[in-house]
């Protein structure tokens, strides 16, 4: 897996994403997914899926299979119930990092059921909004697995928080581990009080994928980025991202690429 020879910055606007809309799901795809296929837009680095999903109350994805993929789910609003064939069951909500390693094969479902943590069920009328991301593991055939950890306190500090990583450099400060020694996901939840200009600098890497999950930011050398916008960078990094109003930004740092 080789590094790119030259630097490049490519802005992808949220409105240009491929879309799947059915009665209970509004899904926007950054890369080719399902029935949507564009041979020029299949991945960036090791990131193959960046789906921005809204699921209506009481609905969701029924039990379905996955293999040989590291799947990270990040909830922005509402809550998502996860159940899988290994017996894991949990509620994913904002500030909770979650990873599922599909490995040799796993079945799971994801539904907007929103049970309370004490087991009671509230009046429920809120959609769940989440981003699901898939990265390629180092090798096929690992044991399937699941991991989650709440990191709300770290996010409150406002900087770039390492959420999921297989990169050795983040071993001591990552929230959850993935079977990809060339990849890391960072998240910044920026308060962005008017005039404060809170922000962070991008890491340096052969491949970066910046996704504005909520709000609006300015990226040095690129300009304004709005909710749903993404930037794909090769052989770059160090740019300052600044928010003047509340925003949430997801950054994949990758040191290899698919098929490279």
List binding-site positions: 64, 66, 108, 110
The tokens of 190 are what? 């920026």
Which stretches of the chain are DSSP H helices? 152-156
Cβ atoms within 10 A of the Cβ of 16, count? 13
Binding residues for Fe cation: 64, 66, 108, 110
Coil, strand, or helix at residue 39?
A: coil
Cα distance between residue 45 and residue 230, in whole Å: 14
Residues in Cβ contact with 177 at an 8 Å cutoff, skipping those fewer than 6 apart? 99, 147, 164, 165, 166
Cα distance between residue 47 and residue 39, in whole Å: 15
Cα distance between residue 217 and residue 245, in whole Å: 8
CA distances to 130, 222, 241, 258 from 229, in Å: 15, 12, 13, 23
Cα distance between residue 260 and residue 238, in whole Å: 24
Host H or E run for residue 185: strand 183-190
Cα distance between residue 182 and residue 192, in whole Å: 31
Cα distance between residue 179 and residue 46, in whole Å: 12
Q: What would you report as the CA-atom Rg of the chain, rounded to the nearest whole angstrom?
A: 18
Cα distance between residue 203 and residue 199, in whole Å: 13
């Amino acid at each position: 897996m080789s590094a790119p020879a030259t630097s490049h910055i490519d802005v992808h606007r949220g409105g240009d994403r491929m879309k799947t809309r059915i009665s209970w799901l509004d899904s926007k795809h950054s890369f080719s997914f399902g029935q949507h296929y564009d041979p020029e837009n299949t991945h960036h680095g090791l990131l193959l899926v960046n789906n921005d999903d809204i699921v209506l109350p009481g609905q969701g994805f029924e039990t379905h299979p996955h293999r040989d993929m590291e799947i990270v789910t990040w909830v922005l609003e509402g809550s998502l119930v996860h159940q899988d064939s290994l017996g894991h069951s949990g509620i994913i909500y904002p500030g909770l990092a979650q990873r599922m390693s599909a490995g040799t094969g796993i079945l799971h479902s994801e539904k907007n059921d929103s049970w309370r943590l004490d087991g009671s069920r509230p009046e429920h009328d809120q959609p769940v909004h989440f981003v699901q991301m898939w990265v390629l593991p180092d090798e096929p055939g690992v044991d399937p697995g699941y991991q989650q950890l709440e990191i709300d306190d770290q996010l409150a500090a406002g900087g770039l928080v390492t959420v999921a990583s297989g990169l050795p450099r983040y071993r001591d400060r990552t929230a959850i581990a993935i079977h990809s020694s060339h990849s890391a996901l960072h998240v910044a939840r920026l308060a962005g009080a008017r005039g404060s200009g809170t922000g962070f600098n991008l890491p340096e890497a052969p491949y970066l994928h910046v996704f504005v999950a909520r709000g609006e930011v300015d990226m040095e050398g690129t300009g304004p980025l709005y909710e749903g916008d993404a930037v794909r960078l090769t052989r770059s990094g160090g740019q300052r991202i600044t928010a003047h109003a509340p925003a949430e930004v997801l950054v994949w740092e990758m040191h290899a690429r698919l098929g490279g």
